[in-house]
Amino acid sequence: MSIFRKAIGLGAAAWLATSFAPAVSAGVIFQDNFDNQPDYIADNYLSGSNHELWASRGDTVPKGWDAVSVWSLFAGKSGLQITSANSDKARGGTGKSLVILRGSGSTAWSSDAELAKNFSPGYDQLYVSFWIKFQPGWTPDGHTKIFRIGSYAPDTIGPDYWSNIGMGFIWDWVSYPTGSGLRNGLFLAPKPGAHFSNPNIGNGGCNYDGYNTYNANYTNCPYDLNADGVVDNKPQILDRVSGGIIPDGGVATHDMVFGSAWNHMEFFVKVNSKPGVQDGILKEWFNGSLIFENDAIPWRQADMSASQNFTAIKFGGNDFFTTYPRSDEHTEWYSIDDVVVRDDLPANRLGNAPNPPSNVSVK
């Protein structure tokens, strides 16, 4: 069964391969559609104060992955699951997917669940493609960390592996009831405890806070990629409420951007040519449309090794979610499916021309 057996009209026949089988497409270094995974509920393998599981020390983690960290907020509601009972949450409505829960607590960053894959000694560039779905009725409030690419010393085990990204970024889902709408949050860092300063990182045509984070509305980033006053990219994002294209500017809500349908995310990172040189890359595509690009990132800082590479990907993260009282034991899920990791860009991503929305529908 192909990794994209859940896809309909994807035009991705070149990526056909079974989970955990040798890659049949040049450049593919890892893939998982979760269908061949044994049923897995993380909390079944955790006990007491132990919140981490490591394949390298013999712990039970999903096949082909390397580590799990889970802080479930409520008993009986594991924050990380891959089960046939959740087949309705898998892409296509059959098989399995990675299901992650966030719980609403009385304090910030209450729940946390992460699944990690390591690539030692790493790659100087990585492309990651996956599909994501949020549950119907997802509360448009809070801050949820969903995906990251990072860099770690070999054999790193322990809290620092989860609390830092090293050299890399975190992709966040961010929405607060302040009228600013859903934000495309990208938190960047060159190494633990360090940050890029504006304008040394460039602004990517988006809102950069001068510290670590791009935090832009999905309706206005990145039209002017190099901030030269000329529009050089025009994302075409389907409005899942009206069925049209989300207009420039204004406010885009979670229901407009993600809704309760499956959405395709793609990320590409490439290190800079030499430490301190501003030519590293980060790109992000949403349903086939380029929505973020910065090609002036000094990932390897001047005081870092010229061999520093990207060594890991992680799904999940902690959540700032306090909308409901803890006593309600309120949880919400999102699902990840059809993960593909490459050490190069696929042929359809070698140019920068924006693509219209594809394989999407209003739901």
CATH number, domain of 189, equals: 2.60.120.200
Let me know if residue 1 belongs to a domain.
Answer: no
Let me know if residue 331 belongs to a domain.
Answer: yes
pTM of the model: 0.89
Let me know if residue 96 belongs to a domain.
Answer: yes
**For every residue of the chain, which 3-state class applies, written as one string?**
CCCCCCCCCCCCHHHCCCCCCCCCCCCEEEEECCCCCCCEEHHHHCCCCCCEEEHHHCCCCCCCCCEEEEECCCCCCCCEEECHHHHHHCCCCCCCCEEEEEECCCCCCCCEEEEEEEEEEEECEEEEEEEEEECCCCCCCEEEEEEEEECCCCCCCCHHHHHCCCCEEEEEEEECCCCCCCEEEEEEECCCCCCCCCCCCCCCCCCECCCCEEEEECCCCCCCCCCCCCCCCCCCCECCCCCCECCCCCCCCHHHHCCCCCEEEEEEEECCCCCCCCCEEEEEEECCEEEEEEEEECCCCCCCCCCCCEEEEEEEEEEECCCCCHHHCCEEEEEEEEEEEECCCCHHHCCCCCCCCCCCCCC
Is the CB of residue 77 less than 8 Å from the CB of residue 105?
no
Tell me how long the chain is: 363
Residue 72 structural domain: 27-349
pLDDT at residue 258, rounded to an integer:
97
Let me know if residue 2 belongs to a domain.
Answer: no
pLDDT at residue 229, rounded to an integer:
66
Let me know if residue 8 belongs to a domain.
Answer: no
Let me know if residue 36 belongs to a domain.
Answer: yes
Let me know if residue 363 belongs to a domain.
Answer: no
Let me know if residue 356 belongs to a domain.
Answer: no
Q: How many structural domains does the chain have? A: 1
pLDDT along the chain (363 residues), means of 10: 40 34 68 98 89 95 97 90 98 97 87 94 97 97 96 84 90 86 90 74 64 75 61 82 86 94 98 94 92 88 94 96 93 97 92 50 45
pLDDT at residue 355, rounded to an integer:
47
